[in-house]
Amino acid sequence: MPAAYTPIATQTLGSAAATVTFSSIPQTYTDLVLVTSVLSTSVSGWGINFNSDVTSGNYGYIVTDGQGSSVQTVRQTAPGRLQIGGWSIATGSTTKPSIGITNIFSYSNTTTNKTALSRSQTYNSTTGTNVSAFAGVWKNTAAITSIVVSLDSASYSFLAGSTFTLYGIKAA
């Protein structure tokens, strides 16, 4: 039986970079899974844009986030990208990664907007850890052909050692 869960590409940063891009994504899978392991000294969340679309009104997400003994839910209606990690706690460690798993459903269909689910755990060497769950949408019916991962500001960088792996899942 052919493998249904296949690595498409992995990027391990050898030096700091502001963005990581997966381009020319094959259209032969059903879903995509993006696994991120982020090192950054910037106090930041991290997120993704599809097909170079940075228009704020084209994205939206809801996040439920736990830190310490508190839980909060926040909805962002025009964030400019899909947040996939970091909320009440932001990144901020050179050695302890913040991690996320993002599922992008039916990414190649051209009849529905693209919905993603993410779970993340963020570590900051000063403020501690949190855990978050995100549901978000890209309000576009186009097939996803590229993904750019970024921090909250263009001046922030992922540090060397950060890893980003994109998987494809193929249904029968």
Partner 1 sequence: MLVLGTVGSQNTKSFASSFDSIATLSGTGSSDSITFSSIPDGYTHLQIRGIATVNYASVDFGTLGIRFNGDTGTNYSRHIMRGFYSGATAYSQGGNVVSSTYNEAGMAYLTVGSVYTGVSIIEILDYANTNKNKTVRGLSGSYWTTSGAVQLGSGVWRNTAAVTSVTIFGSNGNFGTNSTFALYGIKA
Residues that bind partner 1 (CB under 8 A): 1-5, 30-31, 60-64, 71-75, 103, 105-106, 111-113, 115-117, 119, 133-137, 139, 141, 169-172
Q: How far is the CB of 47 from partner 1 (least distance, A)?
A: 14
Closer to partner 1 at the Cβ: 43 or 99?
A: 99
Q: How far is the CB of 152 from partner 1 (least distance, A)?
A: 20
Q: How far is the CB of 42 from partner 1 (least distance, A)?
A: 25
Cα–Cα distance for residue pair 95/166, rounded to 1 Å = 22
Sign of CA dihedral 40, 42, 45, 51: negative
Q: How far is the CB of 59 from partner 1 (least distance, A)?
A: 9
Q: How far is the CB of 133 from partner 1 (least distance, A)?
A: 5
Closer to partner 1 at the Cβ: 97 or 168?
A: 168
Closer to partner 1 at the Cβ: 18 or 117?
A: 117
Closer to partner 1 at the Cβ: 96 or 170?
A: 170
Task: Show the 3-state SS of the chain.
Answer: CCCCEEEEEEEECCCCECEEEECCCCCCCCEEEEEEEEEECCCCCEEEEECCCCCHHHEEEEEEEEECCEEEEEEECCCCCEEEECCCCCCEEEEEEEEEEEEECCCCCCCCCEEEEEEEEEEECCCEEEEEEEEEEECCCCCCCCEEEEECCCCCCECCCCEEEEEEECCC
Closer to partner 1 at the Cβ: 34 or 42?
A: 34
